[in-house]
């Protein structure tokens, strides 16, 4: 799968190179290190960080020095100590050494305090640089801008050279082609592959409108259904209330007749 994606990207890259060869490309570059060296705010904050780094280094060296002193003392006293005491001291030295190494890692490791604070220090300047580069590139009609001192490389590119969507569509088409079985399906896929991005966008827009109309129609039908159900429920409720009222009236009349008969019988008796 990865090889197929790389092949697709390579094909698109070749296509982009062909387009670029037909047009005069305007390039620019910056020197981020030079910019940082000439920003007073960065230099001041960087000096504060360097002072902190020196403190971290001194503390790390002190921890390692203490471990070395403990190891030397143990070597000198080893003949006078029992096996149990030697093992106890060795465990203590091992623990202290581990703590010292962890301190170094937490301060100077890839995810340590130094790297984190260095990134936090540079990020605001980088944001300002990227904003300035974008403005300058647009004003001077530059197509690409690179940073010659950074691993990032390209920091600005004109949107017209962005083929990400084209790569994505090509990958999807390749995946879909593998699932095709009939000649009709393959023919439809080949026609789709010949369409330009603009044609694809137009088709997607039409499909989107059709889907929206379908959703509106379904929503209208559902609303009408709820309205009918509401009217039916109201009528059913009204019918039940009227029925209960009639039954109650009949029950009242029946009770009245029974009471009259009982009263009459009592009078005769």
Q: What is the mean pLDDT of residues 50-57?
A: 94
How confident is the model over 143-157, as pLDDT tens digits? 999 988 876 678 888
- What pLDDT, on a 0 to 100 scale, did the predictor assign at position 37? 87
For residue 27, what are the β-bridge partners? 144
The rounded mean pLDDT for the chain is 81
Chain center to CA of 249: 69
CB 6 within 8 A of CB 95: no
How confident is the model over 8-17, as pLDDT tens digits? 444 444 554 5
Closest CA to 157 of 172, 173, 142: 142
- What pLDDT, on a 0 to 100 scale, did the predictor assign at position 153? 77
- What pLDDT, on a 0 to 100 scale, did the predictor assign at position 8? 43
Whether 164 has a pLDDT exceeding 50, the answer reads yes
d(CA 22, CA 36): 37
d(CA 76, CA 74): 5
Whether 123 has a pLDDT exceeding 60, the answer reads yes
d(CA 153, CA 87): 54
Q: What is the mean pLDDT of residues 25-37?
A: 88
Q: Could you tell me the pTM of the whole model? A: 0.49
How confident is the model over 77-114, as pLDDT tens digits? 998 888 999 999 999 999 999 999 999 999 999 999 99
CB 9 within 8 A of CB 167: yes
How confident is the model over 168-227, as pLDDT tens digits? 777 766 666 556 556 665 566 656 656 666 766 777 788 888 888 888 888 888 888 888
Say which residue, 165 or 54, is predicted with more confidence. 54
């Amino acid at each position: 799968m990865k090889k197929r994606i790389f092949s697709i990207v390579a094909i698109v890259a070749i296509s982009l190179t062909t387009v670029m060869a037909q047009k005069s490309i305007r390039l620019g570059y910056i020197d981020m290190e030079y910019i940082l060296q000439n920003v007073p705010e960065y230099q001041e904050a960087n000096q504060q960080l360097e002072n902190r780094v020196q403190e971290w280094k001194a503390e790390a060296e002190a921890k390692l020095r203490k471990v070395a002193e403990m190891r030397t003392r143990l070597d000198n006293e080893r003949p006078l100590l029992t096996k149990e005491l030697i093992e106890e001291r060795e465990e203590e030295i091992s623990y202290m050494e581990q703590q010292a190494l962890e301190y170094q890692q937490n301060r100077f490791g890839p995810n340590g305090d130094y790297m984190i604070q260095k990134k936090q220090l540079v990020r605001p300047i980088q944001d300002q640089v990227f904003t300035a580069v974008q403005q300058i590139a647009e004003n001077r009609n530059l197509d690409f801008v690179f940073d010659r001192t950074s691993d990032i490389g390209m920091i600005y590119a004109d949107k017209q050279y962005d083929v990400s969507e084209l790569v994505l569509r090509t990958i999807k088409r390749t995946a879909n082609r593998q699932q095709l079985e009939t000649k009709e399906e393959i023919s439809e896929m080949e026609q789709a592959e010949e369409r330009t991005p603009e044609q694809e966008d137009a088709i997607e827009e039409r499909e989107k409108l059709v889907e929206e109309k379908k959703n509106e129609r379904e929503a209208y039908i559902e609303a009408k259904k709820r309205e009918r159900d509401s009217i039916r429920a109201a009528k059913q409720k009204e019918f039940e209330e009227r029925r209960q009222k009639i039954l109650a009236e009949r029950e009242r009349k029946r009770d009245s007749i029974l009471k009259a008969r009982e009263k009459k019988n009592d009078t005769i008796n």
